[in-house]
Structure 1
Amino acid sequence: MKIISATILTGFLGSGKTTLLKRVLSEAHGQKIAVIENEFGEENIDNDILIADSEEQIIQMSNGCICCTIREDLRETLTMLAAKRHDGLLDFDRVIIETTGVADPGPVAQTFFMDEDVAESYMLDSIITLVDAKHAAQQLNDRQEARRQVGFADQIFVSKSDLVDEEVLDALIPRLKKMNPRAPVEAVHFGETQLTKVLDLQGFNLNAKLDIDPNFLSEEGGADSHHDHDEQCGHSSHKHEHGSHHHHDDDVKSFVYRANRPFDPTRLEDFFGAVVEVHGPKMLRYKGVLDMKGTDRKVIFQGVHQVMGSDLGPEWKPDEVRQSKMVFIGVDLPNKILQEGLDASLA
């Protein structure tokens, strides 16, 4: 049975998740999508409902897409959907999970790795985060859930950008990139975006691609910048965001590490084992492409909290600089520990 691709759609209350979802469901992509919602909002995804099974809380729409609410927990809902699909009772190609506005995406993502039944049937593709341009500054200042949603993202969409001045966007977008330099940031109008930016992003694939916003690196001092990234960005327009002259200091930050010497496999494994055990709950997302002593192939790793995986990637090309690159995104990251531990793990 073909494995089911899953996308997590998150964002703070009112950020436009349902609007984007409607857009995706109504596109002529020919795919049948199962949508899992924590609860049906006041606004239905689609009014053209053909079948409603109140017992299972499954609603099938005219284009073959399916909606269902989470009755108990996500694991049970995913398992139930996969079983019905296997038995020919439901027909769908992929799953989109819309979280509540105050949800932490971490436990949702971990379900796909920590539960054997779910891992057998599903592959987590990516986490999409919507950010409401009009209210983002206040939400990011006041609510850790909003900051964590940004930190987990593989793609960030800024909604309601037409409702704010350019200077607000000029402050918001660098702030988002500073929190998460590996997620592209794009302004969307009423959820209008290419499906290729929503589906099949392979954000959780162990491939050799590691996107780090180049402007982030150049602002922090270029390729040699594998030091503490705690500086505040200092844009003068932040005072317009806050209504005061103090700068924000987000607890969700990113730390980028680069090294031109190979890693010692045993030392690195010991270090990662120790740091993830202690600091894993604060490490939202981390990913790296590593030059490892003893192999001519790239070593790719990534993780969510304490769940980490690695694999051999393609061979280093003869003309390619063998450089390790890593990005860590988390809450109050132990930057000094990461810096010293990684330095000490080099061969």
Structure 2
Amino acid sequence: MLQIPATILTGFLGAGKTTLLKRLLEEPHGQRLAIIENEFGEENIDKEFLVTRSEEQIYQMSNGCICCSIRQDLREALLLLAEKRKQGELAFDRIVIETTGLADPGPVAQTFFADPAVAGLYLLDSIVTVVDARHAPEQLDKRQEASRQVGFADRLFISKSDLVSAGELRQLQERLGRINRRAPQKLLHHGKLDFTAFFDVRGFSLDAILDIDPTLLPLAAPVEHPGASLVCARAHVHDEHCGHHHHDAVSSFVFRSARTFEPEPLQRFLAALVERHGPQLLRYKGILAVSGFDRKFIFQGVHQIMGSTIGPRWKEDEKRESRLVFIGIDLPRAEIEAGLDDCLA
């Protein structure tokens, strides 16, 4: 049985998640959705009551979608919906989970990897974050939840851009790019969106090679460092190389090297890195050139959970270059740089 695709929709309070969610329910995109919310508020949505339990309520929408409000463990809600789908009681093609405005998306994402039952039924497609153009600068300054939501994102949708000047919008986009260099940014206009940008992102697919390459460096030009190339993107650095004006604890950087990795030292280093700094590592992802192998190695992780797979062969005319992106909170850049460099052949 094919796994059910799942999307995590997050964003700070008032960013416009509910507006986007309503558009998802209204637009003729051909997808039957199951929407999971932590608490289902007073929404003007036509629904036919299906199931009432003490812990969750499931509603059938007029357009064939499902909406589920939960007040217990996400795992149980996912398993319940999957079972009802299997039994033919509910029909849906994919899941969208809307988090609360103050939520950390990390534990939600980990549910899809840490629990074998959930992992067998669902495929986490992406984390989508809605950013309020008018209030995001202050939120990013004062609330780490806002920065973490940006750091986890596979796609960033900017709302309320009509309420700021072109210069303010550009500054925000540059700042978002420093926090998360791998997430493409798109503007939302009253929740309107080309939904091809929302579905089938494959942000968590280890085999989606083409999804990794273009998004590693979508914005600023690289800043070269001695030895293996490391692109500086720490937003709290302020020097002649990186003229950043905001002090974001969440930041990202990209490690590049034309030298191949030795597999055993690299495996030991990554395991130790995740054990020491897992809570700080929001997302990490990369394409690796490994000594003795003519195929690409693909890896990614969320916090302490890491996975890898063997990708396609390197082409004869292709530059064998390893590229790793790290997004996290106060990342130990020097430690990661030195450790990776020690693993090179």
Alpha-carbon offset, residue 32 of structure 1: 1.1
Q: CA deviation at 1:29?
A: 2.1
Out of 218, 223, 229, the position equivalent to 1:220 is 223
State the TM-score, normalizing by the size of structure 2. Answer: 0.93
How far has the Cα of 1:106 moved from its partner? 0.1
Report runs of 4+ in structure 1 exceeding 4 Å deviation.
221-225, 231-234
Q: Which residue of 1 aligns with 2:2?
A: 2
- CA-CA distance at 1:213 after TM superposition: 2.8
| 2:327 matched residue in structure 1 | 329
Q: Which residue in 2 is equivalent to 1:346?
A: 344
> What do the CA deviations read for 1:140-164 (whole angstroms, capped 9, x no partner)?
0000000000000000000000011
SS at the partner of 2:219? helix
Letter in 2 for 1:215: L
Tell me, yes or no, if the aligned pair for 2:236 and 2:249 is still in contact at 8 Å: no
Are the counterparts in 2 of residues 51 and 59 from structure 1 also a CA contact under 8 Å? yes
Residue correspondence of structure 1 range 151-170 to structure 2 within 5 A: 151-170=151-170
* 1:293 corresponding residue in structure 2: 291
Counterpart code for 2:58: I
The answer on 1:208 being equivalent to 2:209 is: yes
Structure 2: give runs of 5+ residues left out of the alignment: 239-243
Cα deviation, 1:115-167, whole Å, max 9, x if unaligned, reads 11111110000000000011001100000000000000000000000011112
Is this contact kept in 2: 1:227–1:339, CA < 8 A?
A: no
Aligned to 2:124: 124
Counterpart residue identity of residue 135, structure 2: H
> Partner of 2:72 in structure 1?
72
1:170, distance to aligned residue in structure 2 (A): 1.6
Deviations 1:188-207 (A, max 9, x none): 10111111110110000012
> Which position in structure 1 is the counterpart of 2:195?
195
Q: Distance in 2 between matches of 1:309 and 1:228?
A: 25
Return the alpha-carbon distance in structure 2 between the equivalents of residues 328 and 99 of structure 1: 23
CA contact 1:175–1:233 (8 Å) conserved in 2? no
Partner of 1:139: 139
- Tell me how far 1:232 sits from its aligned partner: 4.9
Runs (5+) with no aligned partner, structure 1: 235-245
The equivalent of 2:17 in structure 1 is 17
User: Are the counterparts in 1 of residues 178 and 234 from structure 2 also a CA contact under 8 Å?
Assistant: no
* Count of aligned pairs: 334
Q: Report the Cα distance in structure 2 between the residues aligned to 1:78 and 1:159, rounded to whole angstroms.
A: 29
Q: Distance in 2 between matches of 1:220 and 1:227?
A: 5
Question: Any conservation in 2 of the 1:57–1:68 contact (CA below 8 Å)?
Answer: yes
Change (3 A) 1:107 1:231: closer
CA contact (8 A) 1:12 1:130 kept: yes
